[in-house]
Structure 1
Amino acid sequence: MRIVVTTPTGNVGSRVLRLLVQAGVRPVALLRDPGRLPSDLHGLVEPVRADQTDTEAVLRATAGADRLYWVNPPAPPGADPLAHHAVCAEVVARAVREHEIGATVFQSSVGAELRRGAGDIDGLAATELALDATGSPVLHLRCGYFITNLLASAQEVAAGSLSTPWPVDHPLAWVDPRDIGEVAAARLLGPGWTGRVVQAVHGPADLTFTQVAELLAEQLGHRVEAVHVPSAEFRAMLREAGLGAAEVDAIAGMAEGLSGGFVAEQPRSAVSTTPTTVRSWIAEHLQR
């Protein structure tokens, strides 16, 4: 099988790439800088230089592909995130259609089922629709809240607080990106399917920020308090950090759109539950 992997150095894509190599596949790694691939993978993968917004480059990279793992990469600083998603959606849909790719795994997000009103996730929803319109087999992985987001708060957590635009009592499906990579690799290597399939990746448990703060305190040995940042204040913080209006809307819109009684389309099940707990992740990545 010729399997193309996008964002192969990211938290999820890097795991997908290694699992495919360990399964005996020589995957195609599509990335802007092939030099970023780990040296131990040299000769085991086929690196192809391509920007995912460059239609012709992506078409060349995906020629002959049997299966495709697609992630919309982050928008460049200062760009409109939803416009960037729209370009990526057009590119991947054209590649799938023109090459008649037999199976595409798309990394989407919980909340994409709303289609509108969830900030940056609206761009993933639009990509889902573009892939659906190709008529080719596509699997949308609706992923939960990445545990790795805690890394951005490490300094604040060390000082005793965990601030968030989400209501501190709102449960989220916290998931380790490595576990998403394992689900994606299993689907890429497994039996084919027809039509459109949606599979949630919810992690092992739904937790509030208050509960996560308690786990941080337990593992780190000092008090950590979850602190809610109201939407207006959060937006002001993003503007002060130099983000443009479209970027602010994309980031702030996720918590605003998904915290008002939203319930994920897919309930937790054996299919959607993955193993890595927040407690074990903290012990591995944040304890010193």
Structure 2
Amino acid sequence: MILVTTPTGDIGSRVLTKLLEAKEDVRVITRDSSKLSDDVKGAVDVVVGSHADEAVICSALYGVDAVFWLPPGSPTDTNAHAGYVEFSEAFVRALPASCVKNVVGVSALGRGWEKPAGLVSASLAMDEAIANTGVAYRALACASLMDNQLRQLEPIREAGTFYAPHPSDLKLPHVAKSDVADVAVGLLTSRDWQGFEDVSLLGPEDITFEEMGRVMSNVLGREITFQSMPIEQFEGTMQSIGTSEGMVRDYANMMIAKNEGMDHMLPDAPRTNTPTTFRQWCENELKPALVDT
């Protein structure tokens, strides 16, 4: 049996759907089972609660061979360490006494980066804690997610603009969540692997934010421009939407690290496992989202 956490989230729901299509036996942990469709409820074993809760996770791991692990994360967490490392502590304690042999977790590029990198640093520390239990662990080391642009639907629609605390000409790798889910499912269904390794998920190409704007313009049929914002403005924006002080700092440190080259530490990593281009993502995800809202 495979345990899926965050089964109603952007990545977890895709993983769940693909596992069910593959006829796998699946159990899910969810805080709110009403968010699952009736068809899904009828096809999976449902455990209600938080996967940070020791009693919940111990119960959910019974009879499980493999786990898809993803802390939900929240801008209101005290800080990224609390949201990733502390959230995972009950899971880490429960693993040695369980039957689990393989864990696939969503993480980030940046292992070996020596400066504070906020959410990335916390994700990497979580990876180490899980791997140290002795299970076979694959950390999905994700580049920046293309899907993060969906958080800016309003300025894209209303002003034809999107923002980020990065230079307009900075080339960064970007990956689609759909590709992340595909790689996760491949690992969960073919568990002939051992030890602890990162699986780099870079997308097919690096792209600048200026280039992203041109692609959006072409797909949407109207001009979309990128506006670089100072890190201080980014921090103020995060504060204005209720992000905790610690998370504001951690988001900022992550963006600074990306600006300084953290995402380019693996120049020779393979890219065939994440084929979705930014243009394809805009056609498949961004354009429909703008129509639906």
Task: State the 1:81 CA deviation.
Answer: 3.1
How many residue pairs align between the two structures?
287
| Superposed CA offset, 1:80-117 (max 9, x none) | 33223222231221222221411110110112442651
Distance 1:24 1:212 in 2: 37
SS of 2:72's equivalent in the other structure is: coil
Q: How large is the Cα RMSD of the aligned pairs?
A: 1.9
Distance 2:31 2:114 in 1: 29
Gaps of 5+ in 2: none
Equivalent position of 1:251 in the other structure: 251
Identity percentage over the alignment? 28
More deviation in 220-229 or 114-123?
Answer: 114-123
Distance 1:265 1:272 in 2: 18
Q: Is the 8 A contact 1:50 1:61 kept in 2?
A: no
Scaled by the length of structure 2, the TM-score of the pair is 0.91
Distance 2:115 2:27 in 1: 33
Distance 1:272 1:264 in 2: 17
Distance 1:72 1:272 in 2: 27
Task: State the 1:213 CA deviation.
Answer: 0.7
Q: Is the 8 A contact 2:77 2:83 kept in 1?
A: no
Distance 2:106 2:250 in 1: 18
| Superposed CA offset, 1:106-144 (max 9, x none) | 110112442651112221111011012112211111012
Equivalent position of 1:39 in the other structure: 38
| Superposed CA offset, 1:244-275 (max 9, x none) | 31021122221112211324444455465412
1:207 partner amino acid: I
Task: State the 1:44 CA deviation.
Answer: 1.1
Equivalent position of 1:217 in the other structure: 217
Q: Is the 8 A contact 2:75 2:247 kept in 1?
A: no
Task: State the 1:212 CA deviation.
Answer: 0.5
Gaps of 5+ in 1: none
Scaled by the length of structure 1, the TM-score of the pair is 0.92
Q: Is the 8 A contact 1:109 1:121 kept in 2?
A: yes
Equivalent position of 2:98 in the other structure: 99
> How is 1:1-288 mapped onto 2 (pairs within 5 angstroms)?
2-75=1-74, 77=76, 79-114=78-113, 116-158=115-157, 159-267=159-267, 269-270=269-270, 273-287=273-287, 288=291
| Superposed CA offset, 1:123-178 (max 9, x none) | 11110110121122111110121111111112212212221112222222211111
Q: Is the 8 A contact 1:21 1:27 kept in 2?
A: yes
Distance 1:113 1:184 in 2: 23
| Superposed CA offset, 1:191-245 (max 9, x none) | 3222111111112211111110110111122222211111112112222333331
2:274 partner amino acid: T
